[in-house]
Copies of this chain bind each other. A is one copy, B any other.
Amino acid sequence: MTPPQASPSYRATDRTVPTRARERASHDRELVHAILDETSVCHLGFLRDGAPVVLPTLYGRVGDTLYVHGSTGSRPLRTAGRAGQTGPGLAVCLTVTHVDGLVLARSAFHHSINYRSVVVHGTARPVTDPEEQRAALDALVDHVLPGRSSDSRPANARELAATAVLRLDLDEVSAKVRTGPPADDPQDGALPYWTGVVPLVRGYGAPVPADDLDPSVPLPSYLSAL
């Protein structure tokens, strides 16, 4: 029997079915994970004094859980630690977007962007178990660069005490994807404007060693393979 966590799709809810461009939306688990794993910076939305705040932050993924972290003194992490109606937690929306191309239609109206995004709704709750905290911090480092957490000095007790970690379960989550060429109105087909897609490319430049790096330390394989 297939365990529930291996379901191929996340559930659809009012919050995860868009009102617009519904054909671009998906709840496919593999797609959601693939989009999340391609980068390590998300935009995290939460409320401060009743108003929305959106901040970029790192995240890590372990199965169907995302982790974000910050100083124990930071505002969202302090807020998440306070008791709410359902225990400590912070209502959040976590969004990850890859911009893949500029879509140039003949009409200004049909200009668009090729993109892949994931939007997660939920409550971010403080991680209090020390083992989960450590695993989450490893996941955050390895999400940036797989293999790096075991090739750096682990956090000590003081650093762990200064770092708050929040977990956000992947439950109300959806992906949205636009690919392909422009979709001009048929009657615009003869207009003399260039039309097509300009791909955006991302990659890594050559690693720049710190000035004080001991020259006998080799470039690790996870960097030479980038």
Q: Could you list which residues of chain A lie within 8 angstroms of chain B, going by C-beta atoms?
A: 15, 19-20, 39-41, 43-48, 51-56, 58, 70-71, 73-75, 91-95, 97, 99, 102, 104-109, 111, 113, 115, 117, 119, 121, 137-138, 141, 144-145, 148-149, 151-156, 159, 163, 181-182, 188-214, 217-220, 223, 226
* A20:B74 contact, CB within 8 angstroms: yes
* B52:A211 contact, CB within 8 angstroms: no
* A108:B153 contact, CB within 8 angstroms: yes
Q: Which residue of A40, A41, A45 has the most chain B CB atoms within 10 A of its CB atom?
A: A45
A60 CA to B91 CA, complexed, in Å: 29
A19 CA to B47 CA, complexed, in Å: 16
Known: A109-B163, A192-B217, A212-B189. A54 touches B51 (CB 8 A): no
Q: What's the nearest-Cβ distance from chain B to residue A29, in Å? A: 21
Q: What's the nearest-Cβ distance from chain B to residue A189, in Å? A: 6
Known: A152-B107, A207-B198. A91 touches B51 (CB 8 A): yes
* B204:A93 contact, CB within 8 angstroms: no
**Residues in B neighbouring A219, C-beta threshold 8 A:** 194
A208 CA to B196 CA, complexed, in Å: 5
A56 touches which one: B73, B97, B148, B163 (CB < 8 A)? B97
A137 touches which one: B92, B108, B197 (CB < 8 A)? B108
* A199:B204 contact, CB within 8 angstroms: yes
Q: What's the nearest-Cβ distance from chain B to residue A213, in Å? A: 5
**Residues in B neighbouring A149, C-beta threshold 8 A:** 108
* A51:B148 contact, CB within 8 angstroms: no
* B53:A93 contact, CB within 8 angstroms: yes
A55 touches which one: B51, B95, B209 (CB < 8 A)? B95
